[in-house]
Every structure is written in C-alpha cells, then in structure tokens.
Structure 1
Amino acid sequence: MKNVLKYAAIAALCLSAVSLTGCKHEEYDTDQYAGAVALSAVAPNPVMRGGELRILGTNLENVSEVRFAGGITVTDFTVTKSGDHGELRVMVPVEGPEVGKVSIVTKDGTVLESFADLEFTEPIEVASFAPAEVLSGDVVTVKGEYLNNVQEVILGGVYITEFLSKDRHELKFVVPCNAVTGYIIVGDVNELVDPNTIPNQIYSATELVVGDPTVNEAAKATYKSGEVITVTGAHLDMIQKVDLVGAAEVEFSVAEDGKSLSFTLPASATDGAITLTSYAGKTFSAGEIETVTVADLAIKSLAEDGRYKAGCEVEITGADLDLVSKVDFVNASASFYRDGDKIIATLPAAAKDGSVTVTLDSGKQAYTPEIEVVKPVATGVDKTEAVAGKDQVVVSGTDLDLVTAVTIGDKVQSFIPCKFTLNSAEEMVVTIPSAAYTGVLTLTADSGYETVTDEIAVSYAEPVSIVFDQESYELGKRITLVGEHLLQIDAIYVKGKKVVEYQKREDTSMSFSLPEAIASPGVYRLELVLLDGTELTWAVPFTVTAPFTETTIWEGSQIINGWSGVTFGDDRFVWANLGLKEGDVIKIYFTAPEEGWWDLQLCNGHWGNLSIDELDGGNEIKQGAFPGGTQTFSFNVTEGIAQSLMEDVGWGGAFIINGDGNVEVTKISLIQFGASETLVWEGPSAHTGDYALNQELGGEDDWVNAGLYEGAEVRIYFTPDDWSDWSIQIFDGHWNGMGYVTPNGSQWNVENTPDAAKNHYVSFIAEGAAYTALTTKAWWGFAIILQGKNMVFDKIVYL
C-alpha cells in the first residue's frame, strides 16, 4: 500500500524542530531561527529506495552530510532553498538504509536528528527507456519495476499524466510537443491533481534527448499586411513562438500533421526574417519577407484656386493606400480620411513647403512630390511713423488671414508683440504698443513663415524723453542719457534692481552706473518711477556687453540613453571653487538625433532637478521644443540654481544629465562675465610706515605700454597692517596730486571706502584729467606715486 505525507503532517513535524543554538538562563532570543541550523521534517515518509527525500528546516545551506540509519552517509545532495524556510533534497541509496532516524550534520559538526523514523515503501525502478532520442509524437517505452505505481512523468518541467499503457514492468507515453531534453522523472503522485502531496520521484540514469523541429527556409517573397504566410517543415508543433521584424510573438496555428504553421501578417511587421523559436529555446529561420509599401504617389489641392493654403483639402493618390496610418506635412501632422482608394487630408496651418509623408504601421514611409504652401505677404503700410501706445498702422498685402502673430523690433533687442485686427485677407490694422521701439513689423503665420513691412519710426508721448548716447555699453561702464525733463525721474530700475550711483543728474543729461546685480551681458530696458509716482518702462532697449571666461567643467563623448543618468565631473566642489554666482551662464554642448524622440533632464550633482528660467521653470531639453543636430543650450545661473549646484550633501559630482534617445553630450562649461585685469605694475612694494616712505612705482611709459584707454577702471591692490586703520594718497608719476579721483578729494580711507577690506583694492576711472595725467610723457618720472599708512602695495591694474 502506498503511503503519502501531506503538508499538514509536515506542519506537525515542524513542532519538533531541533535547533543548534542554546542560550544561557538569563538570555532569551525570540527569533527561532537566529542564524542556526534546524531540522523540521523529512518527506515523503515512507520513501522509495532510490527516490528523492526532501529535508525541510532552517539554514540548511550549512549542512555538510546526511546520515541514514544503518550507517549510511551521503554528502552529495542539493539545497534548493536556503535561509529561514530551507529545503534540501537527497537521493536515498538503494542499498543500505534501514528504518530509523535521519540525521543532518552541520559544518561545525553538530548532529540534528529527525523526530520520526524514516520508513521505506515499494521502490519504483527505472531500468531503461527507448528510444534514446525522440521528437514530438514519438512513443517512449520505460522498463523497470513497480511502474504500475507511476502517476506522472516529468520531462524538463513538462508533466505527462496520460499513458498509452502501464503495468508493473513497462510504461509507455507519447512525447508532448513542449518536451525538452532532460532526465525522465517518474513519480507516484499526480501533482497536477494533488499539488499538496509530496511525491516519491525516481530519475532515469541518462537523459532523454528531444530533437529539433525541421523548418524549411523559403525564398524571399513580398506580402501585404493581412495576408496569410505559411511555413513548412516537420514537427512544427514544437515551435513556441513566431517573431517578425516589427512584430513579436505573432499568433499562429499548426496543422494537425505538424508539417506547416500559418499566421496573418500584422500591419506593424516590416522587412526581415521570420524567426521561429522552439520550446527548447532554439531559434530557426524560415526565410525573409518583404512587406508592401505604397507607391506611385501623387498629390493635388482641392481648393478652387489650386493653391495649397492652410485649411484646404488635399487629395493623395497611389497604390495600396489602405495601408497608410499617418499623413505628415513638413512641420505638421494632418487629419485624413479615405475616399475609395484615395486619401483626403486637411492641410494644417503649421505646414511648410516640401513633400508629404505617408507612414504605414510597419514604419515604412513614402513621399509625394514637393508642394509649396501659401504664405502671407505684406506689400505696404499706410504710415512709417507712429507714436507708441497711441497710433495704428494699416498693413496691406495678400493672404494676411494666415497671420497669427505680429511683432515690432528685432531679435537682438527682443521682439515686442503687437495686437492686430484682420479686416480681410488683404488688410490688417496693427496697434503700436507703448513698449515698441523703431523697427519693422514682422507678420508670422502658424507655419513659421514671416513677412516684414517697411521700418516704422516710433516716437513716444511720455512725460520724459530719453536717448542713449550709444547703442551698447561694456559691463561696468556708466550709462549716459540725453533728453528732456530727466529731473522728473525719481528712480531708475534695471531688471528690478535700483540704480544707486549717479555720476550726473541734469534735466537734459544723466549718467549712472548699472546696479551691482546686473553682472551679465544682455538687452535691458529702463524701468522709471517719476516724481508724481508714475511708473513706465522706456521702450527703447540698450545692450550691455562684456568679455567673458569660459571654463570647461567636463569634456568628452557620452551617450545619454535608456534613462540612465550620467554624472559629469567627479568634483562636486568645482562650482564653489570657481566662484559660481548669479548671472553666470552654464552651457551644454550636445548632438541630438535629427529624427525621433529624445529628451534630456538637467540635474545638480546629487540628482536635484534644476528650475531653469529658459525652460519655463523646468529642466528638460527635448525633441519638439529643440531641433536635432549639433547644438548648444545655455541658461543663466539664478540664485536658486547657484545654491542647488553648490549644496554639499556629502556625495555626488558636478552635474547630472538623465534622459533617453541616444543624445551625445560633448562638453559642459561655465561662462563668467567681467573684464579681465591688465597688469601695469606688480609688487609687493616696500612698507610705507605711517606715510614715512613714498612709493614711486613703475616707469613713466607703463600706462601707455599696457594699453590704458580713457574710461578704464584703475585698481590699486594693497595690504594694510590693520584693515580698521588705513589711508592712501595718490600722485601721478610726476608728483602732481590726483586727490580729485578719491571720494573726499584727498584720500581713500576706511571711512569713505569700507568695501576695500572685502575687495583688497581701491579704484578710480581714468578719464579726463586723470587719464591725461597718467599718459602724459615728461621724459622722467614713474607710472604712479602712492603714499599710505602702514601698508604695502601689491599690484596696479586696469580693466
């Protein structure tokens, strides 16, 4: 009689688990495992001699041998599960074991014994099988003993529970189509019906070899999606899946005789191999296919005038247009429908000149002849002079109904948007905004095509009148205005920063320095507050230029793909060491694919997202918003970005870029603005004492030789004994006093120049008398003469 052990019995046996580790009386460990080896149960019990015995317990990976009653020791076993819920499997020797306890020996020599005796039952024996090599549908005959007790046969994980015949000495079964090479395992329990019973399992001595199906490789042929493709061969029921280029795991059916399989060509499939994969994981080529694409494309406008104007319908003709799933004009996708064997598409407003592309689900594309879309054209204006915020300009032209935006000005000084009203396709009225400045009107269609008018000279009906003395100014140089009623100006702001240093304030002229916070070049506008509280922005912009230094943070070639973030630069302190500040610029050099989707996400060196003004507060550079190809992206460093990049969290790098789409990053750099210093004299000088030693520094021609220009800033670097008690007096190289360049007309000192302690220099502008004094040649003298209180002079420069 066959006995089986249920899991309920195993659970009961677990109550008798034996642990290796004890504990002292005063120490208690509530973890029953705690890293120790324990024997919980053995099953099946009774077990067949020559069969597989399972030992359940804890940390069984630390077992070195298994002992059976009768003095039999086995060291060849398999640990199938380790840790808290472990399992060890061992083959029971046919000869030797007796009824009795089963013991396991740990690697440290401790012996653990089962609670119950292990008993034995009738042994199923697999003596032989034939044939040794089979294919699906073949019959295998197994010879042995007690084969009438077999309830299942397992071949490489495939269960067989139906047999052609079965008696004590012989068992026959049919090889299923999903069988793979492996040992024949016979068991006394049908686990598909009774999964909770642990069977006795007996293994064959050798493996049953399962052969491969035969796949005939057909000649290359052309198919259209929806057509049926048939592959021939033998034993094709052994095929698990069919893969095509562009279509994985295609549904298929196999003929009853296994000599052919068929599938319907999916719309997404494209040219390439037919690949069959067997249940054994082997792949076979069934030949190549070529998929049909559309051909002989023609296109025409259905508009009455035959032109390709936004909104009109366009007819596309050709062969096999039923395969088309997408229609794209240059710069825009189109909606479409089918009219018999034709495609009717609506021309999008954003479409540009060029071929129309039709795309199939397979990814194949075809192209029509090129078309030229209708564009707006401005032919005239009713006036070329206008008052900002007051006047309107009538623009005449053709197809002006395509215009979706109007601006005045230029790209460098920024375009100013204008409101407009369309009277007809031939006429529109444009309102000149109060922020406008002299320039052309640019009319733009959704397609991006532009047309421009003659220049409109803009004047202003404002309480003040302002004219800049030049179009651009170097960073650090004063801004000079001329105009009318300038004393009505109470305050001037630039980008929200107040001007605090004026060199001149008169009703018809004014000079001032930019606020310190304006530290980078750009196009700026003056924000004015008048004495009566009126606030206005002067429309005419001015440009600030500056020399700059570009420092490479990282350079090389790095592909960004698969959303695997890349750290650029190992030094997380590089930003702080370079003196990163608001107004600096970070520049990313990269090459993006010309076609297809891509995306870059910019992060600090420890995965913090950056809030970038140029990306509307986001941090993504991606396809659609940016073109493909080799390019750069620059963004201004705000106070928040500077803090983020210089934050030290104890790990990370300089910069991280995450993204996808095979984008190549080649360089990351930091651009810092400001004129570089030109050295005129370098010390240190002798110590001055308390005005005890005159410092006659350099030669008479040093300023001219160094290229000093009028308007340059001269800096005198020094180190006093005490930053709370110092003063400096200045003379030109011929002992003529230059106290007029100092704040009080006599000297610099700690009271009138407190920033010197931070900057380590005092400075003045070399203009007018000061420039003349420094550059006049008298055939004797020095570059400059300085006196000071308890200090040394370090260097003299200009910028």
Structure 2
Amino acid sequence: MKKYYNTFIMLVIALMGLSLAGCSNDDLNTDQFGNDISLLSFGPCPVLRGGTLHFMGSNLDQISEIDLPGADPITQYEVLKSGRESEITIQVPAEKCTTGTVTLKTAKGGVITSVTPITYREDIKLTEFYVGTEKNYTGSVGQTLTIKGDYLNLIHGIIFADKDTVNEKQFTSHDRYTITVAIPKEAKTGTFKLTDLAASPNEIETSEALVINLPTVSSLAPETIKAGNNITIAGESLDQIASIEFTGAPAEKFTIAQDGKSISVTVPSKATDGEVNLVTSSGVKIPAGSIKTVVPTELVAAPNPVKNGADVTITGKDLDLVTGIAFPNAAGSIKSSNATTIVATVPEAAQNGDITLSLANGKNVTVAYKLVAPVVTEFSQTSIIAGNALVIKGTNLDLVASVVFPGDGSPTVTTLTQTETAIGLTIPEAAEGTGIKFVLKNGETVNVTGITINASSTPAVSADIKGTIGEYVTINGKNFNNVETVSIDDTKVIKFSARTNTSMTFQIPATVAAGTYDLKMVTPDGTSTVVCKITAASPELDVADYVKNMNGTAIAYPYTMTWGDDGRFTITQDVMTKMGIKVGSVLRFYKKTTTKGQVQINNGAWKPYTTLTDWNGTESVLTLTIDKTCMDFINQSPSIVIQGGLDDITKMTVQP
C-alpha cells in the first residue's frame, strides 16, 4: 500500500497565524491590470501536505495560477465563494513543496504575493489499512478495519464513500498509532476519508479502495405470489439490506433472519409482475429475482342473465385482491366482498359485455355476463292505424325508455305509461310500417316484430311553424287532402297559394293578433285536430313611411345616420301610437355587414337610453327590443329620438 505523510490542521482563522492585518491592501495587491483582485489571508498554516489550503480575498475566482514554493504550478482550484468576498481552496501537493511565500497570478499577468510564508506539518502519518490481515483491502459489513500510522489520535471521524461519518466514539480502539472500527452498513466499495470534524474540516482520502463484500442472493420463492402473502429470499450477508423494492411499490414489511441468510417479505398490494431488488444501507441495489402476481381466477357471474338494477354475484378465487368493478358503459361499486365472492348492483346504464374487476397493482380481469331483455308477449292490436292507443304486454318492460315506430323520421314515443309487464302509449300520426323498436334505459335497442302500423288519415304536421301576420307561410306533413278547413285558434284561414297532400301554403289572416296559437285542421266528418303550434309575428313597419329627418327631408335608403338634423329623426308620441310601439316591440336597423358605426336611442328630452354598436363590421342588423324598463324611460318624455354615426343603412323598421 502507498504511504501517506499528511498532517491535519485546524481551520479556525483566529488560530491560523495567517492574518495579514499588519499588511495593507497595497502590500498584497499588485494587480496592475485593474481587476480589483486581492488576497487578504490564507490558511491553515502550518498546513498538512496533501491537505486543503484556503485563500480569502476579493475576486479570487479570477486567479489563473497558484504557485507554492518548490511545487509545480497549480491551476485547478475549487471556488467556495466568488466576487468581492471570495474564497477558493487548493489541494496541497504531498511532495516537493517547501516553505516560502505564495504567489497568485491573474489571467492578465498580474502577480499577488503573500506577506506570510507557507509552512507545513508532518506529524500525522497514515501508513496502511487492512481488513483482518495485512494487505487485505476487502471486507464485509461488521468486520474490523484497521488503520495504521502516527498521530492518529488527532483523527475524530472516518467517512465511508461519502456517507454518514463514523464518529470516534464508535471506534473499537483509538490511539496514536492505530484506529480500529467496524465497517458500517452504510459503507460501499471505494476510498474513504479521515477527518478532524472541524467546522471547515481537513480530510485525507486514501488512494486505495476499500472493497465491501455485497450481500448475495441464492433463491427467491415462491415466484408466483398473491399480494399480501410472503416470499422468502435466501442468500448471504442479507443483514445489510435496508429496503426492498418491488415493481410498482416498495415493501412495507420484511424480517431479516439473525444470521443474515434469509429475508421474509410481504408482497405489497400494489406490487405487480417484475423484478425484486434488495437495497443496502449504502444504496446499492441487488437483484433478487422476479415474481408474477396472482389474479382472481375461476370467475362466474350469477344470475346470468341479470336485470339492470338487480345484484350480481361473482364467485371465484382470490377475489379479495379486487379493489374496483366496472360494467360496460357504466361505473360500478362493490357492495360486499371476500376471497371467494363479490356482490355488486348492476347500474341502470350497464350494457351487455364483460364485467371488469380491477386490482390495486393495476391489473384487470374480466367475467362475462348477460343482461335480461324485454320480451313482448301480446299487442292489444296486431294491425292498428297510426294515431290510436296501443297496449304492449310482456316481461321486463320497465327497462324500456322509448319506443321507435316505422315511418318517415322514425317517429318516437318517449312518454310511456308502463309497468314491468305492460306499456301504454299513443302511436304517432306519422307512423307507418311493420315492427317497432325498444330503446332501453341503458342505450341498447331491441327489435320487436308482430305488429303492423297502418297509415293514419288524420292530418299531421312535421313541426311547429312561425310566420308574419298578413304574409304566407308553408307547412309540411301528410293527409292534407283529407282537410276541409284550417284555422288559427278560432280564426279561419281563407287564402291558400298552394296545397298538396303533404304541403300547403296559406296567408296568416291580418285579423290575428301577434302570439302563439294552435293550428287546427278539420276533416269532412267534422273531426278537429290540433296539428302543431303556429307563432304569428307582427309585420315590420318601415320607419321611412312614418317619419322624416329633423330638417324636414324624407328618409331614403341607403340612409346615413348622423349627429345632425339631416341624418336623425324623432318618433313622436302620436306616431308611436300609430305604429303600435309597446313593450315587446322591436326596432331594427339593417345595414351592410362591413359598415362600422353606432345608433343612439334617446327619449324626447334627448336623454340617452342605449347605444347599438358594431365596431368590427360583422353585423347585418342592429336590434333593440323594447322591454318595460325601456318603455318607462321613453315615457319620461314621450317620444324616441334616434341619431348616431352609421352609413349604408338599408332599412329601418319597427315590429310592433
């Protein structure tokens, strides 16, 4: 083994004998290049050959070379602090260096020379270390490490591979020439250091490595294991193990035999298939083998088929591993479970397929099941005209959410009178064809045969309609040839422009007030049928037909609204009455889409109520609906004054 002649020193600056307080900064700073680099002190002094030497001053991180008397130039150093209060350290060579002044050189050629010379201590010697017998650098945790030298009584700790320091209180013997210590669990192969444990400690590191025998594994059993059960790992020196890692989770419980030759470890619930690693106190991972985790088997669901909303029982092996359950199209929850049985309620939304059981370790298993389906045993009529009432009898009919009939648009009934054994409904007028389809509450469908829906002669309309009073509106449907009269509530429709069996166009009578009404059709036999709702809107009145600009000129389109009398106007109280302006009326200002601007609405006292704007040029119409608040505001000074800045208005209307 290579010998070391090293000396430990204390780094307390007050005792270093290095203070340069008697020297001015000029004495120490010969940096003629103006980098403001200066040396204030260095130490410890005397310093240990091979030990650490500290330099303190300003901007020492800019030093390019440090020269110790008799030694080769040193260009490698560690920066502890940089800037105006800086500190750097170097490792003193073990040989060649002699007593004298220290020189620091800057990158630009400046030279800084210490006032105080550097001196050395050589009273501590490290001559050798071994385990058991001399020249043996290999040992196991717990074996005795012997360190030989001189003045070893100044040593207060040993650092094994950068782990926790072994304090001298743990040395088994300690005198001037010898230290013996048990190799700690934290030790791992590598060099180790002797330290004086000072605030800024000196450390001596061996050049030879101490080789630590690692634990070995000879077997792992069983390799197929259920979470929560134990596996046994056999080997040597297993008492060095601090933790055990499974794939997916660390072990929480394990026991090491006193002889260190076996470990019993409980497999965590989250552990899954894969490697098992033993981790020593020093952090070394040792592969111990691999495991395969058990999943539930021999799974059977009953009853099968099962009804939505009822309980399903799953039996099998190792079901206590299950932490969650899911059904096709629906999440589930476990009501009760043990190692051989799980009970859960089938959700209403669950569909046919496989039930999925999930384990804590991320694995899943499935079990097949089927759902009960509705069965029709009887129709009140097997051949029936659309529009009539129908009763369907059977089993599990409470699972049905809606009934779809044949015909244009697949007319569907969602309002059902139903029990588990019967459904009552009215067949849609638009239905025609054979067979029906059940849409179940879980989204699945069941086709049902055995019924024929004959077309109804009753008139029917496909959708509610909207129109303007005095204008024509078109409705679509069927059986219009069987219609003798059409009325909006009690107002008879007089004018038709077109009419077929599936479409008719008629004028909404001017005598109908704005509102929503029943549209009624009467057949030759006097039967009146409400076929849809019709909303009749008041016609839009052109403002230009009722008012003029404030300067007396007529309003013409395209109209330019301004803030002057040539482009603004007033709707007086009498004109408001004539046009029928009231709560619910709508003002519209049609314009070119790309035009940008604003329209201001005021009352007769020129007090603004609101401003309609389009600053992006994206709107084709600006609209104001007169609500009660707006009407009350206008009535404070009864009239409406409209002005603003908006070009290219194509029309201005009021819809009463």
1:174 corresponding residue in structure 2: 182
Q: Which residue of 2 aligns with 1:106?
A: 106
**Which ranges of structure 1 fall in alignment gaps of 5 or more residues?**
25-34, 191-196, 470-479, 491-526, 535-642, 644-799
Residue 198 of structure 1 is matched in structure 2 by 200
Change (3 A) 1:296 1:101: same
How many angstroms apart in 2 are the aligned matches of 1:80 and 1:405?
A: 80
Q: How does 1:617-636 map to 2 (within 5 A)?
A: none
SS at match of 1:237: helix
Higher alpha-carbon deviation: 267-276 or 70-79: 70-79
Quote the offset at 1:160 in angstroms: 1.5
Distance 1:437 1:82 in 2: 90
**1:155-554 residue pairs with structure 2 within 5 A?**
155-158=160-163, 159-161=165-167, 162-189=170-197, 197-218=199-220, 221-248=223-250, 251-278=253-280, 282-301=284-303, 307-336=305-334, 337-338=336-337, 341-368=340-367, 370-376=368-374, 385-386=386-387, 398-404=395-401, 419-428=414-423, 443-451=438-446, 459=461, 464-467=473-476, 483-488=503-508, 530=536, 532=538
- CA drift at 1:225: 2.2
* CA distance in 2: counterparts of 1:533 and 1:427, whole angstroms: 50
In 2 relative to 1, CA 245–202 (structure 1 residues): closer, same or farther, beyond 3 Å? Answer: closer
Unpaired runs of 5+ residues, structure 2, are 1-6, 131-135, 467-472, 479-497, 511-532, 541-617, 619-656
Q: Please, what is the CA RMSD of the aligned residues?
A: 4.9
Structure 1: how far apart are the matches of 2:284 and 2:145? 23
Question: Using a 3 Å threshold, how does the CA distance of structure 1 residues 323 and 339 change in structure 2: closer, same or farther?
Answer: closer
Structure 1 position 264, deviation (Å): 0.9
Local SS of the residue matching 2:10: coil
CA drift of 1:247 comes to 2.4
Distance 1:328 1:64, change over 3 A: same
Q: 1:214–1:235: 8 Å Cα contact kept in structure 2?
A: yes
Distance 1:105 1:489, change over 3 A: farther
Greater displacement, 265-274 / 90-99: 90-99
Distance 1:90 1:189 in 2: 19
Q: In the alignment, what sits opposite 2:154?
A: 149
Q: Deviations over 1:303-337 (max 9, x none)?
A: xxx75111211222222222222233333333221
Larger Rg: 2
Within-5 A mapping of 1:127-146: 127-130=127-130, 131-146=136-151
Per-residue deviation at 1:152? 1.1
Whether the aligned pair in 1 keeps the contact of 2:251 and 2:265 (CA below 8 Å) is no
Distance in 2 (CA, whole Å) between partners of 1:444 and 1:352 is: 12
1:326 corresponds to which letter in structure 2?
G
The alpha-carbon deviation at position 229 of structure 1 amounts to 2.1
* C-alpha contact (below 8 Å) 1:53/1:91 kept by paired residues: yes
Kindly state the Cα deviation for residue 151 of structure 1 after the two structures are TM-superposed.
0.7
Aligned mates of 2:228, 2:312 — CA distance in 1: 28
State the 1:269 CA deviation. Answer: 2.1
The one-letter code of the counterpart of 1:4 is M
- Structure 1 residues 402 and 146: alpha-carbon distance in aligned structure 2, compared to 1, 3 A threshold: same
Deviation, structure 1 residue 66? 1.8
2:251–2:266 contact (8 Å) kept in structure 1:
no
Give the conservation status (yes or no) of the 8 Å contact 1:325–1:358.
Answer: yes
Please list the CA deviations of residues 484-536 of structure 1 after superposition, one character each: whole Å capped at 9, or x if unmatched.
Answer: 2355499xxxxxxxxxxxxxxxxxxxxxxxxxxxxxxxxxxxx99755479xx
Residue of structure 2 in register with 1:537 after alignment: none
Deviation, structure 1 residue 227: 2.1
Q: Per the alignment, do residues 230 and 74 of structure 1 end up closer, same or farther by CA in structure 2, a change over 3 Å counting?
A: farther
Residues 44 and 200 in structure 1, CA contact (< 8 A), matched pair in contact too: no
The one-letter amino acid of 2:398's match is D
The separation in 2 between residues aligned to 1:445 and 1:151, in whole angstroms, is: 82
8 Å contact 2:100–2:117 — kept in the other structure? yes
> Cα distance, 1:416 vs. partner?
8.7
Partner deviation per Cα, 1:418-463 (whole Å, 9 max, x = no partner) = 65244322444668999x9999986433422124677797535868
Q: 1-side partners of 2:294 and 2:399: how far apart?
A: 39
Q: TM-score, normalised by structure 2?
A: 0.57
The whole-number CA distance in structure 2 between the counterparts of 1:110 and 1:481 is 110
1:4 equivalent to 2:5? Answer no
Change (3 A) 1:189 1:420: same
Residue of structure 1 equivalent to 2:488: none
Q: 1:95 to 1:401 in 2, by over 3 A?
A: same
1:172 alignment partner, SS class: strand
Q: Are the structure 2 counterparts of residues 385 and 59 from structure 1 closer, same or farther at C-alpha, using a change threshold of 3 Å? A: farther
Q: Any conservation in 1 of the 2:357–2:364 contact (CA below 8 Å)?
A: yes
- The SS at the match of 1:216 is strand
Aligned to 1:584: none
Closer, same or farther: CA 105–400 of 1 in aligned 2, 3 Å: farther
Q: Report the count of equivalent residues.
A: 459
Whole-Å Cα distance in 1 between the matches of residues 118 and 428 of structure 2? 99
Identity of aligned residues (%): 29
Post-superposition shift, 1:295?
2.6
The CA distance in 2 between the partners of 1:340 and 1:231, in whole Å, is 27
SS in 1 for 2:209: strand
User: How far off its partner does 1:157 sit?
Assistant: 0.5
Evaluate the alpha carbon distance shift between residue 484 and residue 329 of structure 1 in structure 2; reply closer, same or farther with a 3 A threshold: closer
AA at the equivalent of 2:138: E
Q: Contact 2:271 / 2:361 at 8 angstroms: preserved in 1?
A: yes
CA distance in 2, matches of 1:9, 1:425: 99
Distance 2:411 2:114 in 1: 90
The letter of the residue matching 1:338 is S
Question: Do the aligned partners of 1:269 and 1:362 also contact (CA within 8 Å) in 2?
Answer: yes
Task: State the distance in 2 between where 1:404 and 1:19 align.
Answer: 95
User: Counterpart of 1:47?
Assistant: 47
Q: What secondary structure is seen at the aligned counterpart in 2 of 1:178?
A: coil
Change (3 A) 1:142 1:462: closer
| Cα distance change of structure 1 residues 122 and 466 upon mapping to structure 2, 3 Å threshold | same
**Residues 378-404 of structure 1 deviation map (CA, whole Å, 9 limit, x = unaligned):** 775886535xxxx98766654232234
1:219-277 superposed Cα distances (whole Å, 9 cap, x missing partner): 65333222222212222233354222332455544334332233211122233332224
SS in 2 for 1:77: coil
Per the TM alignment, residue 61 of structure 1 is displaced from its structure 2 partner at its CA by: 5.8
CA contact (8 A) 2:240 2:280 kept: yes
Please state whether the residue corresponding to 1:352 is helix, strand or coil: coil
C-alpha distance 484-261 of structure 1, shift in aligned 2 (>3 A): same
Residues of 2 paired with 1:254 and 1:248: CA distance?
16
Within 5 A, what are the aligned runs for 1:649-664?
A: none
Residue 178 to residue 36, structure 1, CA distance change in 2 (3 Å) = farther
Q: Distance in 2 between matches of 1:400 and 1:38?
A: 97
Structure 2: which amino acid aligns with 1:357?
Answer: T
Alpha-carbon distance in structure 1 between the residues aligned to 2:345 and 2:431: 39
Residue 287 of structure 1 aligns to which amino acid in structure 2? G
Rounded Cα–Cα distance in structure 2 between residues aligned with 1:533 and 1:59: 89
SS of 2:320's equivalent in the other structure is helix
